[in-house]
Amino acid sequence: MTMRILLSFSCLTLLTPCLASAADTSPVVRYSVEGKYEYVRDDLINAITGRGLVIDHNSHVAKMLDRTGKDLGTTKRIFGQDQGQTFSFCSSVVSRKTMEADPHNILFCPYTIALYSTLAEPKKVYLAYRRPQRTDDSAASKAALKEVEKLLDGIAREALNLKQ
């Protein structure tokens, strides 16, 4: 029992700074957990596809950087082996509302979530996304973009087993 309480407290302590960042208005939301990259990646894929969404593209950013580094005169690795990826997808329901509110919101589709582990912190897995926001928006467009953010945050929290 004591071990369970200690483990719960440790998890809360680790997540508190990350959860606070989701409440501010910075353009990027970033969460992190201690864990195995492959498990978190699978949980992210399940969180996306479990909503009936299709991953249109999976970009292997870490592999690309490793592959092209020598041509650029650097071999410094940043991420773990194939542990820097982005996942792009769209929701026809949410995207339709967003673009009906303002056709210029097409630039937010597809939605992208990044997942990565750095060499500096190999046991920490980060999940991040950009908030869809514009400063020149109508009230209807802002409301629709908030729905996109709610979708992205719900997927992120589900993938990391955080409370909604």
Q: What is the pLDDT of residues 135-155, one digit of tens each?
A: 887 899 999 999 999 999 999
d(CA 3, CA 89): 40
Residue 6 lies in a domain: yes
3 state SS of 121 = coil
Residue 116 lies in a domain: yes
User: At residue 8, does pLDDT exceed 50?
Assistant: no
Q: What is the pLDDT of residue 115?
A: 98
Q: Which domain holds residue 141?
A: 2-159
Cis peptide before 17 (omega within 30 of 0): no
Query: How many domains does one find in the chain?
Result: 1
Residue 147 lies in a domain: yes
Q: What is the pTM of this model?
A: 0.83
Residue 132 lies in a domain: yes
Going along the chain, which residue ranges are E strands?
28-34, 54-59, 79-90, 111-118, 124-130
Residue 164 lies in a domain: no
The pLDDT tens digits of the residues spanning 74-128 come to: 989 999 999 999 999 999 999 999 999 999 999 999 999 999 999 999 999 999 9
Residue 95 lies in a domain: yes
CATH number at residue 9: 3.30.310.70
